[in-house]
């Protein structure tokens, strides 16, 4: 049996539970930036299999602003409301 690719491993993990990029990078032993590159492909693969890749938006830990309009998979740099950078990262799941 051949080993699973990184993207297949990400698909499997996100089918089991919600995770953010840092959690995925630690579990896979790769840099967080690499995770973002793979997530775009994972989302397309999930859609092709009839599954739904869900982006749970990040939010500001200081004022509570939720980044509901943001479609990028990366973590926002700072909050548009309070201009601070204490942001809870977005989470991902496949349902």
- What the chain holds in terms of domains, given with CATH numbers, is 6-94 (1.10.10)
The whole-angstrom separation of Cα 88 and Cα 61 is: 6
Q: Tell me what pLDDT residue 11 has.
A: 97
- Give pLDDT tens digits for 45-59: 999 999 999 999 999
Which two three-digit tokens encode residue 79?
């909050």
Extract the residue ranges of the chain whose pLDDT is less than 70.
Answer: 1-2
pTM above 0.85, yes or no: yes
Q: Tell me what pLDDT residue 76 has.
A: 93
Using an 8 Å Cβ cutoff, are 75 and 87 in contact?
A: yes
Which two three-digit tokens encode residue 45?
């693969």
Q: Tell me what pLDDT residue 3 has.
A: 78
Q: Tell me what pLDDT residue 2 has.
A: 67
Q: Tell me what pLDDT residue 4 has.
A: 86
């Amino acid at each position: 049996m051949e080993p699973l690719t990184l993207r297949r491993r990400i698909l499997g993990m996100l089918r089991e539970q919600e995770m953010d990029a840092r959690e995925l990078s630690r579990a896979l032993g790769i840099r967080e930036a690499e995770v973002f590159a793979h997530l775009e492909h994972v989302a397309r693969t999930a859609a092709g299999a009839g599954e739904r890749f869900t982006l749970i938006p990040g939010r500001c830990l200081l004022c509570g602003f939720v980044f509901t309009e943001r479609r990028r998979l990366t973590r926002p740099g700072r909050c548009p409301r309070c201009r601070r950078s204490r942001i809870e990262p977005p989470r991902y799941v496949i349902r």
